A and B are shown apart, each in its own frame.
Chain A
């Protein structure tokens, strides 16, 4: 299946989604299990680990790599948000502590960013500016670099960088407004 996809069969991508999702979840659960109170989670590490596990460096051509990361970012977002919701709902544990993602957005070192709040803010951004919403999803939940994001979106690294700075400020301002209201 993976080889069919790397050989350019686009339908195979559709069939692959559950496989990628399963692998990402397995890896994520392992990270979650070792969660400490101050635990931070690197989306980058998870997505790249899944990539190497599923495809490896040898078979992948860049176009497929970009597609893989595009899909993985969406799936990773779902996994992280579900996990944060489960934790928030779990009253038996030692209190509610949202998983803190330390990746490119993190605004305040003391507080980090609540994944659920970020997911909602990103949904608001995406509703207004779909392309930039996608960019944030790739960068933040997919943990992609500027260059990788540019490859997936078909835009230059300079454009990614420029839009990223604006989108990030938009999200932080939106989160601050929500927190204040």
Chain B
């Protein structure tokens, strides 16, 4: 398994963040069609990002 190119990760991650969480899953599925590894990676990153943003103190430090 080769890791996705950084440029793909970066672009898709930020595009995904710009979307409502409601439409995000479907959007990711479409953009990552045929690339399940990339999709799983992005989903894990978005979960981690949302989890970190959900706690106030780390949110603060994240914006440092």
Contact = CB atoms under 8 A, between A and B. Distances in A.
A176 B13 contact: no
A62 interface: no
Interface residues of A, number: 24
B9 interface: yes
23 contacts: A103-B61, A104-B64, A106-B57, A106-B61, A107-B58, A108-B58, A129-B6, A131-B6, A145-B64, A162-B10, A165-B14, A166-B9, A166-B10, A166-B13, A166-B14, A168-B49, A169-B48, A169-B49, A170-B9, A172-B48, A172-B52, A173-B47, A177-B44
A164 B35 CA distance: 24
Nearest to B49: A169
Interface of B: 3, 6, 9-10, 13-14, 17, 41, 44-49, 51-52, 55, 57-58, 61-62, 64
Contacts of A103: 61, 64
A82 B2 CA distance: 32
Contact of A132 (B6, B44, B51, B61): B6
A108 B3 contact: no
Given A163-B10, A165-B49, A169-B49, A176 B55 contact: no
A40 B15 CA distance: 34
Name the residue in B46, B48, B51, B62 with the highest tally of chain A Cβ atoms < 10 Å from its Cβ: B48
Pairs A-B, 3 closest by C-beta atoms: A172-B48, A173-B44, A169-B45
A168 B47 CA distance: 12
Given A104-B62, A109-B57, A173 B45 contact: yes
Given A108-B55, A165-B14, A166-B14, A173 B6 contact: no
Contacts of B46: 169
Contacts of B58: 106-109
Given A109-B58, A173-B45, 10 more contacts: A104-B64, A106-B58, A107-B52, A108-B52, A129-B3, A145-B64, A166-B45, A170-B9, A172-B45, A176-B48
